[in-house]
A and B are shown apart, each in its own frame.
Chain A
Amino acid sequence: ETGVTQSPTHLIKTRGQQVTLRCSSQSGHNTVSWYQQALGQGPQFIFQYYREEENGRGNFPPRFSGLQFPNYSSELNVNALELDDSALYLCASSLQSTGGEHGYTFGSGTRLTVV
């Protein structure tokens, strides 16, 4: 079975620009969660998608938005980038919203740098 694939792996953007990050979920998984991990910190929950609908959201502003497609792949969009948005963005797929016994399968992440 394939794992979770994220693209691009690295990205440099200028403050005020917009960015789209992509995630292909593990085969058979219908739920995708996005996390932001600042340097030296644990991941912070952004939002989760289940069957193409947003299933829950963390404490992030509306300029963070997402999509899930019929094949369960997902996108994270961030508008009006700020310097503090610089972080590792992780996508995690699972078969159910809480991950269950098998937990989340994480991708390797996209390292976003905002200058």
Chain B
Amino acid sequence: TQLLEQSPQFLSIQEGENLTVYCNSSSVFSSLQWYRQEPGEGPVLLVTVVTGGEVKKLKRLTFQFGDARKDSSLHITAAQPGDTGLYLCAGTSGTYKYIFGTGTRLKVLA
């Protein structure tokens, strides 16, 4: 059974701080996605990574896919209150479904 574990589960930081969220598995994924979910809404796609070692940047967010394609990280620089939400990683081994991680709930205080 493929599992994706995220750490930390909860994170509360001050505006302007940096943070890193980790997504780990013992399984290899052909691609991995990061989503952000706000209360009362569905997850919204942030990025897809497909190549081992790949790094993608989205403004203040930096995403990295591990060399072995078993793990990923999301780094946020100078966090803002608008970054508050539930961050989910999701991986697929090329079949029909994405396995979602356990989620990291981020709160950025003004």
Q: List chain A positions with a Cβ less than 8 A from chain B.
A: 4, 33, 35, 40-45, 48, 50, 55-56, 58, 90, 92, 97-109
Give complex CA distance A43, B97 in Å.
12
Q: Which of A43, A50, A109 contacts B100 (CB 8 A)?
A: A43
Report whether A98 and B95 are in contact in the complex, using a CB–CB cutoff of 8 Å.
yes
Determine which of A41, A98, A109 lies in contact with B98 in the assembled complex, contact meaning CB atoms within 8 Å.
Answer: A98
Whether the pair B97, A104 counts as a contact (CB closer than 8 A) is: no
Q: Which of B11-19, B40-48, B64-72, B73-81 contacts A (4 or more CB under 8 A)?
A: B40-48
B46 to chain A, nearest CB (A): 9
Identify the interface centre among A40, A58, A99: most chain B CB within 10 Å of its CB.
A99
- Enumerate 11 A-B pairs (CB-CB under 8 Å) in ascending A order: A41-B103, A42-B90, A45-B100, A55-B96, A90-B42, A98-B92, A99-B98, A100-B48, A102-B48, A103-B48, A106-B43
Whether the pair A103, B97 counts as a contact (CB closer than 8 A) is no
Report the bound CA distance from A101 to B42 in whole Å. Answer: 18
- Contact check, B42 vs A106: say whether CB atoms are below 8 A apart: yes
B25 to chain A, nearest CB (A): 13
Counting CB contacts under 8 A, is B24 at the interface?
Answer: no
Residues of A within 8 A of B41 (CB): 108-109
- Bound Cα distance from A109 to B39, whole angstroms: 11
B contacts, CB < 8 Å to A: 4, 6, 30-31, 33, 35, 40-45, 48, 50, 88, 90, 92, 94-103
Q: How many A-B residue contacts, CB cutoff 8 Å?
A: 72
A41 near B42 with CB under 8 A, answer no
When A and B form their complex, which 10 residue pairs have the shortest distance between CB atoms, in order from nearest? A106-B42, A56-B96, A42-B100, A103-B45, A97-B96, A45-B97, A43-B100, A42-B103, A55-B96, A98-B92
Main secondary structure of the interface of B (DSSP, over half): loop
Question: How far is the CB of B4 from the nearest CB of chain A, in Å?
Answer: 8
Q: How far is the CA of A40 from the CA of B30 in the complex (A)?
A: 27
Chain B's nearest CB lies how many Å from the CB of A79?
23
Q: Cβ of A43 and Cβ of B43 under 8 Å apart?
A: yes
Known A-B contacts: A56-B95, A97-B97. Give 8 more (CB < 8 A).
A42-B6, A42-B102, A43-B88, A90-B42, A98-B31, A103-B33, A103-B48, A104-B45
